[in-house]
């Protein structure tokens, strides 16, 4: 038995499959998903075959329970999902086929209108109508295996050959050097592979995609060129520009005793429209305008539509959300602390909820963390409402990663952006070749107090800011008995080592410029933290206790990182702080990889000083 390894470096998969197709009679392909560019790549070789069977996995389902299973998490929910798919009801099957149809239609609409592409699409339609190409969608589970089975014309060379590996039916699958495939020869091997394919093909008999593929092409611009007149294009442009002004598809419902301002009602109507169009929306008004009430009102409308919601928020906001939901009469929603996402995965009913609202959503902007990946799984296939005044913290990629929570496809979306590929658009924004406002205007609702004052007659009485006014008082009278002086002395004895990393570096590990920058930053931070503690003390004992408790938590987190051989600073420190704010316990913190190397510091002394401050 001959076996050839095809690594796309020394041997190209596309060259090998073309060779075998030229001497083939029938081809049977089982792939995770296929793209038109993959068929186009081997069109001439396929043209001579008697029959081509394509079994493709559902793109819309490729990242659900199987992804969770591969990560070895949340077995109960995974088992439920797999059992559901193995006994998939007809209505769910029809939805999968409809989604695949829409995906193909969208792909055809975006191809370059060259003669070569038009000729290929017309060839593809001809083959479908002649029943030379037959396509089925495998709906039960993720189709991880990739098989290209080619039956020979001349049986003197054997029954045929099979290619097994990682390549999907796409241009990248045929050419990328990260793909790996094996050519499997021998009649016995061929029979076993064909039996495997025929079993899955038979299981997909109710998921025939061939007529839908024909329909997608027939409804595309390729066969309807005369219908796209300049006047119709003009009307479509007007519709796309002004369609957000139509709020007729949301009915006014009674919020009970809760009365919303007009600007809040407008935001709810607008968010409802955008949510249904894009699958996600940002409620990002500045603080003080009532985003929690707007979010709750939006959930009330979705509840009227028969949808159940899951609210994920920092632990300190959990009581507030529960109270507001009760005011709105939303009794089907469930509030979960963002530090306890495991509770969602251990409850399959929560996983099945149709709507996810994330408060303080900017905490989920780093795709490298497990918390983000967990949230990504929770949001899979759901409507997502992102609440927070700062959707963009550090860069435009913060916004991109939050959008990816509800926009899985890079191209199958309804954003009016160019480049069309989402990641390419954000690269263009980063390089100032595209305007971020285009996508912000579609999915972000953000107003300032000035906007409300200028555009609405009905508005709350915003507090009027007045200039600073000097008030003289005696701190000794506020804290009698020498308490202030005693606390003052204690604060002065703190090392503030957690903030002053520059005092613990190994000089030879840094350039002169780096040494100067780190040391100066440390000195500044020490002064700032010392000042903060005094300001908190002057505010109240309770305020000082809150700050001390928070500093204790961050010191424990820093020590945890040191014990893992990492020194927290910059974005890595910000990420850990975000986790703490979300309610993650210190022992459960996920320390990022992008940290300073501990060997660059006098770690024993640094650890000693931090321990001393912590236990002071």
| DSSP secondary structure letters along 482-543 | GHHHHHHHHHHT---TTT-GGGGB-GGGS-HHHHHHHHHHHHHHHHHHHHHHHHHHHH-HHH
Per-residue pLDDT reduced to its tens digit, 96-113: 888 888 878 777 876 777
Closest CA to 462 of 289, 258, 262: 289
Contact 133, 127 (CB under 8 A): yes
Range of the domain at 585: 475-614
Q: Does 590 or 528 have the greater pLDDT score?
A: 528
CA distance 309 to 145: 35
pLDDT of residue 249: 53
Q: Are residues 86 and 165 in the same domain?
A: yes
CA distance 181 to 541: 67
Identify the weakest region by mean pLDDT among 103-112, 232-241, 403-412, 424-433. 232-241
Q: Are residues 319 and 405 in the same domain?
A: yes
Identify the weakest region by mean pLDDT among 55-69, 200-214, 359-373. 55-69
- Residue ending a domain, among 455, 488, 519, is 455
Can you tell me which residue has the tokens 């089975």?
149
| DSSP secondary structure letters along 531-558 | HHHHHHHHH-HHHHHHHHHHHHHHHHHH
Q: What is the mean pLDDT of residues 121-129?
A: 93
Q: Give bridge partners of residue 386 from the DSSP assignment.
A: 282, 358
Tokens read off for 324: 């507001």
Q: Are residues 55 and 177 in the same domain?
A: yes
Q: Are residues 412 and 481 in the same domain?
A: no
Domain total of the chain: 3
Return the CATH number at 266. Answer: 3.40.50.10810
pLDDT of residue 400: 94
- Residue ending a domain, among 223, 249, 279, is 223
Contact 314, 581 (CB under 8 A): yes
pLDDT band of residue 354 (cuts 50, 70, 90) is: very high
Q: Are residues 55 and 174 in the same domain?
A: yes
pLDDT of residue 528: 86
Residue 280 pLDDT > 60, yes or no?
yes
List CB contacts of 364: < 8 A, sequence separation 6 or more: 358, 371, 372, 375, 401, 402, 405
Contact 27, 46 (CB under 8 A): yes
pLDDT of residue 72: 43
CA distance 155 to 152: 6
86 phi and psi angles, rounded to 5 deg: -70, -20
Identify the weakest region by mean pLDDT among 161-175, 195-209, 263-277. 161-175
Residue 162 pLDDT > 90, yes or no?
yes
Tokens read off for 98: 């409809």
Can you tell me which residue has the tokens 């000693």?
608
Average pLDDT, the chain: 83
pLDDT of residue 500: 83
Residue 198 pLDDT > 90, yes or no?
yes
306 phi and psi angles, rounded to 5 deg: 90, 15
pLDDT band of residue 64 (cuts 50, 70, 90) is: very low
Taken in order 425, 430, 434, 435, the sign of the CA dihedral is positive
Q: Are residues 197 and 268 in the same domain?
A: no
463 domain-assigned: no
Tokens read off for 583: 């309610």
Q: Give bridge partners of residue 274 from the DSSP assignment.
A: none
Closest CA to 51 of 24, 87, 71, 32: 24
pLDDT of residue 92: 73
pTM (two decimals): 0.60
Q: Are residues 437 and 549 in the same domain?
A: no
404 domain-assigned: yes
Residue 3 pLDDT > 60, yes or no?
no
Q: Does 76 or 40 have the greater pLDDT score?
A: 40
231 domain-assigned: no
460 domain-assigned: no
Q: Are residues 432 and 523 in the same domain?
A: no
Q: What is the mean pLDDT of residues 431-438?
A: 92
The continuous run of DSSP H or E covering 53 comes out as: strand 51-57
Burial (CB count <10 Å: 0-12, 13-18, 19+), residue 461 = exposed
467 domain-assigned: no
267: preceding bond cis by omega (within 30 degrees):
no
CA distance 554 to 550: 6
CA distance 10 to 322: 61
134 domain-assigned: yes
CA distance 535 to 244: 47
Can you tell me which residue has the tokens 């505010």?
539
Q: Are residues 450 and 487 in the same domain?
A: no
Q: Helix, strand, or coil here: 164?
A: strand
CA distance 126 to 132: 9
Can you tell me which residue has the tokens 């209108």?
113
Tokens read off for 585: 């316990």
Q: Give bridge partners of residue 283 from the DSSP assignment.
A: 387, 445
Closest CA to 132 of 200, 46, 57: 46
- Residue ending a domain, among 425, 455, 485, is 455
242 domain-assigned: no
Q: Are residues 412 and 492 in the same domain?
A: no
Q: Helix, strand, or coil here: 395?
A: coil
Q: Are residues 479 and 597 in the same domain?
A: yes
CA distance 572 to 592: 6
In this structure, the strands spanning 3-6 and 181-184 are antiparallel
Of 226-235, 477-486, 568-577, highest mean pLDDT: 568-577
Per-residue pLDDT reduced to its tens digit, 505-525: 888 888 888 888 888 888 888
Q: Are residues 577 and 610 in the same domain?
A: yes
88 domain-assigned: yes
pLDDT band of residue 245 (cuts 50, 70, 90) is: very low
pLDDT of residue 65: 42
């Amino acid at each position: 038995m001959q076996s050839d390894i095809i690594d796309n470096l020394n041997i190209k998969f596309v060259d090998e499959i073309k060779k075998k197709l030229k001497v083939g009679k029938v081809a049977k392909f089982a792939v995770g998903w296929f793209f038109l560019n993959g068929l186009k790549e081997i069109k001439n070789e396929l043209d001579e075959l008697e029959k081509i069977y394509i079994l493709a996995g559902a793109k819309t389902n490729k990242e659900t329970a199987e992804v969770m299973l591969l990560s070895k998490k949340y077995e109960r929910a995974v088992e439920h999902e797999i059992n559901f798919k193995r006994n998939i009801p007809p209505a769910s099957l029809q939805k999968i086929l409809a989604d695949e149809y829409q995906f193909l239609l969208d792909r055809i609409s975006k191809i370059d209108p060259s003669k070569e592409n038009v000729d290929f699409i017309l060839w593809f339609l001809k083959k479908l109508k002649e029943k030379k190409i037959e396509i089925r969608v495998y709906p039960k589970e993720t189709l991880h295996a990739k098989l290209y089975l080619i039956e020979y014309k001349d049986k003197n060379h054997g029954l045929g050959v099979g290619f097994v590996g990682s390549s999907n039916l796409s241009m990248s699958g045929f050419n990328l050097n990260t793909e790996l495939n094996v050519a499997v020869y021998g009649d016995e091997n061929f029979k076993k592979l064909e039996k495997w394919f025929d079993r899955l093909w038979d299981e997909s008999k109710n998921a025939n995609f061939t007529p839908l593929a024909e329909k997608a092409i027939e409804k595309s611009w390729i066969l309807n060129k005369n219908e796209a007149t300049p006047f119709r294009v003009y009307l479509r442009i007007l519709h796309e520009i002004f369609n957000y002004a139509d709020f007729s598809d949301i009915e006014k419902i009674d919020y009970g005793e809760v009365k919303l301002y007009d600007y809040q009602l407008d935001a709810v109507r607008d968010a409802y429209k955008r949510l249904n169009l894009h699958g996600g929306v940002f409620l990002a008004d500045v603080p003080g305008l009532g985003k929690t009430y707007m979010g709750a009102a939006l959930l009330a409308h979705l509840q009227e539509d028969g949808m159940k919601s899951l609210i994920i928020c920092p632990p300190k906001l959990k009581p507030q959300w529960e109270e507001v939901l009760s005011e709105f009469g939303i009794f089907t929603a469930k509030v979960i602390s963002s530090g306890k996402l495991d509770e969602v995965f251990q409850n399959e009913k929560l996983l099945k909820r149709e709507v996810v609202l994330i408060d303080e959503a900017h905490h989920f902007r780093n795709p490298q963390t497990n918390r983000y990946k967990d949230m990504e799984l929770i949001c899979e296939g759901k409507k997502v409402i992102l609440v927070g005044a700062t959707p963009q913290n550090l860069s435009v990629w913060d916004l991109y990663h939050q959008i990816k929570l509800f926009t899985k496809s890079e191209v199958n979306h309804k954003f009016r952006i160019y480049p069309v590929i989402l990641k390419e658009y954000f690269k263009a924004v980063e390089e100032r070749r595209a305007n971020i406002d285009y996508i912000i205007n579609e999915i972000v609702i953000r107003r300032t107090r000035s906007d409300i004052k200028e555009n609405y007659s009905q508005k709350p009485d915003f507090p009027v800011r007045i200039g600073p006014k000097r008030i003289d008082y005696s701190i000794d009278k506020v804290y009698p008995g020498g308490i202030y002086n005693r606390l003052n002395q204690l604060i002065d004895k703190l090392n503030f080592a957690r903030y002053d990393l520059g005092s613990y570096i190994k000089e030879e590990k840094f350039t002169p410029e780096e040494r100067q920058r780190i040391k100066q930053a440390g000195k500044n931070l020490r002064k700032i933290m010392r000042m903060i503690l005094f300001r908190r003390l002057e505010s109240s004992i309770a305020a000082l206790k809150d700050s001390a408790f928070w500093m204790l938590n961050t010191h424990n987190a820093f020590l945890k990182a040191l014990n893992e051989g990492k020194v927290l600073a910059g974005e890595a420190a910000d990420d850990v702080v975000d986790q703490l704010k979300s309610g993650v316990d210190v022992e459960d913190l996920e320390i990022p990889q992008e940290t300073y190397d501990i060997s660059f510091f006098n770690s024993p002394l640094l650890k000693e000083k931090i321990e001393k401050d912590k236990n002071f």
